[in-house]
Structure 1
Amino acid sequence: MEQRTKNGKQKAVGKKKDFIQIRHVFILFFIFSSLIANAQCAMCRAALAGESNIKKAEAVNDGIVYLMVVPYLLVVIIGILIYKMYQSKKKRAA
């Protein structure tokens, strides 16, 4: 889909919306696929293998997942702060 601007040039409108929708689908896919992932390294698995260590293995898996969340949370917070700063500069300029 294209739109004409005031000076007669054509501007692509639909491509950006399609890209944003595809990006959201990929983000949701990766979030939900990581929820079911088994986050245990080979050495931890070997050390905790066996019937008697089931609770310990689950605890190690949960700890690894919690440690993995912190860097992603920091990136999201920094991204939100940058977005808010950009929006406030945009409002001041207008």
Structure 2
Amino acid sequence: MKKILLIVFFSLATLTQEVLAQCAMCRATVENNLSNGDIGIGAGLNFGILYLFVMPYLAVGIIGFFWYRHSKANSKKYGSV
């Protein structure tokens, strides 16, 4: 188990550099387009960020709702409180 955790940790540590490079490229593209008067790419990028931000919370909320509903149905079925 320790070997797997070390492999995952080092894999994530090495991939971080590539992720940071993408942020600089996106920022440069948006700044260039904004200076030319085009706001479409910046608005699309902001929408994408919000979409990626909301989806995990929405997925956890849906799973939690069905889990709660299932547990309530089981408690009524077996008579426990």
Q: Which amino acid aligns with 2:71?
A: Y
1:21-70 Cα deviation digits (max 9, x unpaired): xxxxxxxxxxxxxxxxxxxx842223211422422111111112112222
Structure 1: runs of 5+ lacking an equivalent: 1-40
The aligned counterpart of 1:68 is 53
The aligned counterpart of 1:19 is none
RCO higher in 1 or 2 (8 Å CA, sep ≥ 6)? 1
Query: TM-score, normalised to structure 2's length?
Result: 0.55
Structure 2: runs of 5+ lacking an equivalent: 1-21
Whole-Å separation in 1 of the counterparts to 2:35 and 2:61: 39
CA RMSD of the aligned region, Å? Answer: 1.9
Query: Are 2:70 and 1:85 equivalent residues in the alignment?
Result: yes
Query: TM-score, normalised to structure 1's length?
Result: 0.48
Q: How many residues matched?
A: 54
The 5 A counterparts of 1:1-94 are: 42-43=23-24, 44-49=26-31, 50-52=34-36, 53-94=38-79
Q: Which amino acid aligns with 1:83?
A: Y
